[in-house]
Structure 1
Amino acid sequence: MLAYIIRRLLLIIPTLLGILLLNFVIIQAAPGGPVEQMIAKLEGFDGATSRISGGGAEVSVAGSNYRGAQGLDPELIAEIEKMYGFDKPPVERFWIMLVNYLHFDFGDSFFRDASVISLIEEKMPVSISLGLWSTLLTYLISIPLGIRKAVHHGSPFDVWSSTAVIVGYAIPGFLLAIMLIVVFAGGSYLDWFPLRGLTSNHFEEMTLGQQIVDYLWHLVLPVTALTISGFATLTLLTKNSFLDEINKQYVVTARAKGLTENRVLYGHVFRNAMLIIVAGFPAAFVGVFFTGSLLIEVIFSLDGLGLLSFEAALNRDYPVVFGTLFIFTLLGLIVKLIGDITYTLVDPRIDFESREG
Structure 2
Amino acid sequence: MLMYILKRLALMVPTLIGVVTLTFVVTQFVPGGPVEQIMTQLRHGARPGGEGGAGGGGYHGSQGVDPQQMEQIKKQFGFDKPPLTRYFAMLEDYATFDLGQSYYHHQSVWGVIRSKLPVSITLGLWTVILTYLVSVPLGIAKAVRNGSRFDTVTSVAVLAGYAIPGFVFGVLLLMLFGGGTLWQVFPMRGLTSDDFDDLSAIGKVLDYLWHIVLPVTAAVVGNFAVVTILTKNTFLEEIGRQYVLTAKAKGVPQRDVLFRHVLRNAAIPLLTGLPAAFVGAFLNGNLLIETLFSLDGMGQLSYDSVIRRDYPVVLGSLFLFTLIGLLTKLIADVCYVLVDPRIQFNRTGR
Specify the TM-score bucket, using the shorter chain as the normaliser.
over 0.9
* Corresponding residue number in structure 1 for 2:43: 43
* Corresponding residue number in structure 1 for 2:57: none
Cα distance in 2 for residues equivalent to 1:298 and 1:129: 15
Whether the 8 Å contact between 2:215 and 2:293 is mirrored in structure 1 is: yes
- Taking CA–CA contacts closer than 8 Å with sequence separation of 6 or more, which of the two structures ends up with the larger relative contact order? 2
Whether the 8 Å contact between 2:39 and 2:70 is mirrored in structure 1 is: yes
> 1:217 aligned to 2:248?
no
Question: Which is worse superposed, 36-45 or 21-30?
Answer: 36-45
TM-score by length of 1: 0.91
1:115-264 equivalences in 2 (<5 Å): 115-264=108-257
> 1:83 aligned to 2:76?
yes
- Per-residue Cα deviation, 1:115-166 (whole angstroms, up to 9, x for no partner): 2111112111111111101111001111111111011000000000000001
Whether the 8 Å contact between 2:167 and 2:218 is mirrored in structure 1 is: yes
Whether the 8 Å contact between 2:36 and 2:62 is mirrored in structure 1 is: no
Seen in structure 2, the aligned counterparts of structure 1 residues 99 and 259 have a Cα distance that, compared at 3 Å, is same
Cα distance in 1 for residues equivalent to 2:26 and 2:62: 32
Question: How much does 1:294 deviate?
Answer: 1.6
Query: Structure 1 regions of 5+ residues with no counterpart?
Result: 55-67
* Corresponding residue number in structure 2 for 1:289: 282
Residue of structure 1 aligned with 2:268, choices 271, 275, 279: 275
Question: How much does 1:279 deviate?
Answer: 3.6
Question: How much does 1:36 deviate?
Answer: 1.3
Cα distance in 1 for residues equivalent to 2:344 and 2:62: 70
Say what the alpha-carbon RMSD is for the aligned residues.
1.9
Residue of structure 1 aligned with 2:91, choices 87, 90, 98: 98
* Corresponding residue number in structure 2 for 1:265: 258
Question: How much does 1:69 deviate?
Answer: 9.6
- Per-residue Cα deviation, 1:62-110 (whole angstroms, up to 9, x for no partner): xxxxxx9953343332222221111122222111111111222222211
Count of paired positions: 340
Question: How much does 1:268 deviate?
Answer: 1.6
* Corresponding residue number in structure 2 for 1:57: none
Aligned residue type for 2:311: Y
Question: How much does 1:292 deviate?
Answer: 4.1
1:311-350 equivalences in 2 (<5 Å): 311-350=304-343
Question: Which is worse superposed, 174-183 or 284-293?
Answer: 284-293
% of aligned pairs identical?
A: 53
Spell out structure 1 runs of 4+ moving beyond 4 A.
Answer: 50-54
* Corresponding residue number in structure 2 for 1:4: 4
Cα distance in 2 for residues equivalent to 1:179 and 1:52: 39
* Corresponding residue number in structure 1 for 2:19: 19
Question: How much does 1:210 deviate?
Answer: 0.8
Question: How much does 1:258 deviate?
Answer: 2.3
Seen in structure 2, the aligned counterparts of structure 1 residues 70 and 15 have a Cα distance that, compared at 3 Å, is closer
Aligned residue type for 1:270: L
- Per-residue Cα deviation, 1:250-272 (whole angstroms, up to 9, x for no partner): 21122223221122111121121
Aligned residue type for 2:182: Y
SS at match of 2:44: coil
Cα distance in 2 for residues equivalent to 1:259 and 1:70: 84
Question: How much does 1:309 deviate?
Answer: 1.4
Cα distance in 2 for residues equivalent to 1:24 and 1:277: 36
Query: Structure 2 regions of 5+ residues with no counterpart?
Result: 51-60
TM-score by length of 2: 0.92
